[in-house]
């Protein structure tokens, strides 16, 4: 039971899925209510109900369209508005009467339509009341709630939390981040997002943050794919630039990004999913052969799992086919003096830890193929700055961490420009150039040139 409850909780946690289910259920209940009204009106009129029941699909469709026009399928509490329910019922009756006047052969009468509207309204109201109580009961059990991370100064956060408690319902507190002193503590925000399952960030007191700090916070939240909502100041409220949040109990200003940029990134993500799925399905025989070779060549697991730092300094487990000894990370401390790379990264051209099969895998970049799974999960992209191990990240300067402003990739501009033969400064410069000039066509160009670089085995060791 606990397993099924966790699955249901995860599914209902997705706002779009939860809202779609609510609309479908409400539409089905409204359709059943009007159909019951049509049957009841036919029984009361003493006929077999052929005139109205035979037209039920058309009348029910009109009923749902009118309800939608009155916003009875919008977010709560709009959908619970009794005035809108009454107005929609009368509007439907008026349209049905107009249709009966134009087509008298339909057999729809004044009394029958009014009785159908009254019974349909009564049934719809009762069913919606039961539906809302059922939704509230689901929320009380902790299902379907959206975890919220509240950021701001202590007084501002307290007001948000009090409002959320009074409103109850779909949102639950996942964590808090203090922004005392008028500064955006990105490290605290990232830590809170990594340590909680927050799916929405509510920012209170945004007007007190400096422009640079606010932009960095927006960029950080955006990289993680989490919606950001801002508690607006008095000026924004007077101008009416607010969006009522579902069940939050307060007006919130939702921060959106340019549609063109979002559409391109959506296409990039769609391409990542399609190519990674196709690659996994087509290359599994190669995976099997290589995995067998790795297992027979040296003792240890087939896959090498390493924590790496990705977009917005978020760590994830990067998957690779093991090309070194199983104790390679333990031995690295004793090899630091042999490091041939400049800067924070660690590279040895003839690394003694690399196995015989591992050398072949590295020359042909086959050890990185399992990262298709990371791409499918959204932790990486096909093209982007290469993710570095935590050890390298900790040695980086703050200025160099700007390359973490994009989702890491299996390949990138650095790979097609020399790869390991380049210095760390060149890698950062090329990554920043890619981020500033990013486009889908640029990604395609890098992918095609990567194939050539792999065949030529440039900088692969």
pLDDT score of 390: 92
Of the candidates 364, 354, 366, the one whose C-alpha atom is nearest the C-alpha of residue 321 is 366
Distance (Å, whole) CA 229 – CA 255: 6
Distance (Å, whole) CA 255 – CA 258: 10
pLDDT score of 49: 45
Contacts of 451 (CB under 8 A, 6+ apart): none
For residue 77, whether the previous peptide bond is cis, meaning omega lies within 30 degrees of 0, is yes
* End-to-end Cα separation, the chain, in angstroms: 50
Q: Which residue is associated with the tokens 């990264």?
A: 345
Does the pTM surpass 0.95? The reply is no
Q: At 23, is the pLDDT very low, low, confident or very high (cuts 50, 70, 90)?
A: confident
Q: At 367, is the pLDDT very low, low, confident or very high (cuts 50, 70, 90)?
A: very high
Residue 241 in this model has a pLDDT that exceeds 80: no
Contacts of 296 (CB under 8 A, 6+ apart): none
Query: Phi and psi at residue 197, in whole multiples of 5°?
Result: -105, 35
Tokens representing residue 34 in the block: 């009007």
pLDDT score of 73: 81
pLDDT score of 56: 78
Distance (Å, whole) CA 294 – CA 302: 6
pLDDT score of 45: 65
pLDDT score of 236: 40
Quote the distance between the C-alpha of residue 213 and its chain's center.
24
pLDDT tens digits, residue range 53-81?
567 788 888 888 888 888 788 766 666 77
The CA–CA distances, whole Å, from 196 to 161, 201, 220, 343 equal 17, 11, 16, 34
Could you give all domains of the chain from N- to C-terminal order, each with its CATH number?
A: 2-140 (no CATH), 146-256 (3.40.50.720), 261-456 (no CATH)
């Amino acid at each position: 039971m606990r397993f099924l409850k966790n699955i249901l909780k995860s599914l209902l946690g997705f706002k779009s899925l939860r809202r779609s289910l609510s609309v479908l259920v409400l539409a089905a209940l409204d359709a059943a209510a009007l159909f019951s009204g049509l049957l009841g009106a036919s029984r009361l009129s003493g006929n077999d109900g052929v005139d109205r029941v035979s037209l039920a699909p058309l009348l029910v469709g009109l009923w749902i369209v009118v309800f939608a026009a009155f916003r009875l399928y919008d977010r709560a509490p709009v959908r619970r508005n009794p005035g809108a329910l009454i107005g929609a019922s009368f509007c439907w009756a008026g349209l049905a009467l107009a249709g009966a006047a134009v087509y008298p052969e339909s057999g729809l009468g004044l009394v029958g339509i009014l009785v159908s509207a009254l019974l349909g309204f009564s049934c719809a109201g009762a069913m919606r009341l039961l539906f809302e109580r059922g939704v509230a009961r689901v929320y009380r059990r902790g299902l379907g709630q959206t975890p919220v991370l509240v950021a701001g100064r202590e007084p501002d956060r307290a007001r948000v939390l009090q409002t959320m408690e009074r409103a109850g319902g779909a949102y639950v507190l996942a964590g808090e981040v203090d922004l005392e002193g008028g500064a955006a503590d990105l490290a605290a925000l990232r830590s809170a997002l990594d340590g909680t399952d927050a799916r929405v960030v509510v920012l209170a007191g945004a007007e007190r943050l400096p422009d640079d700090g606010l932009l960095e916070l927006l960029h950080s939240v955006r990289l993680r794919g989490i919606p950001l909502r801002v508690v607006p100041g008095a000026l924004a409220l007077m101008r009416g630039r607010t969006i009522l949040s579902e069940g939050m109990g307060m007006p919130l200003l939702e921060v959106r990004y340019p549609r063109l940029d979002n559409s391109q990134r959506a296409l990039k993500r769609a391409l990542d999913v399609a190519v990674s799925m196709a690659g996994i399905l087509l290359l599994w025989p190669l995976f099997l052969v290589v995995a067998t070779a790795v297992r027979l060549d040296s003792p240890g697991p087939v896959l090498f799992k390493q924590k790496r730092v990705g977009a917005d300094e978020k760590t994830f487990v990067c998957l690779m086919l093991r090309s070194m000894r199983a104790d390679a990370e333990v031995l690295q401390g004793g090899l630091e003096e042999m490091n041939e790379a400049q800067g924070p990264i660690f590279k040895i051209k003839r690394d003694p830890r690399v196995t015989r099969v591992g050398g072949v895998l590295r020359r042909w970049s086959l050890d990185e193929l399992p990262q298709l799974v990371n791409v499918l999960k959204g932790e990486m992209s096909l093209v982007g700055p290469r993710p570095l191990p935590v050890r390298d990240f900790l040695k980086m300067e703050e200025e160099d961490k700007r390359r973490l402003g994009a989702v890491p990739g299996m390949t990138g501009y650095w790979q097609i420009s020399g790869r390991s033969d380049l210095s760390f400064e060149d890698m950062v410069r090329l990554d920043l150039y890619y981020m500033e000039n990013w486009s889908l066509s640029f990604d395609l160009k890098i992918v095609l040139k990567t194939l050539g670089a792999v065949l030529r085995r440039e900088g692969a060791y």
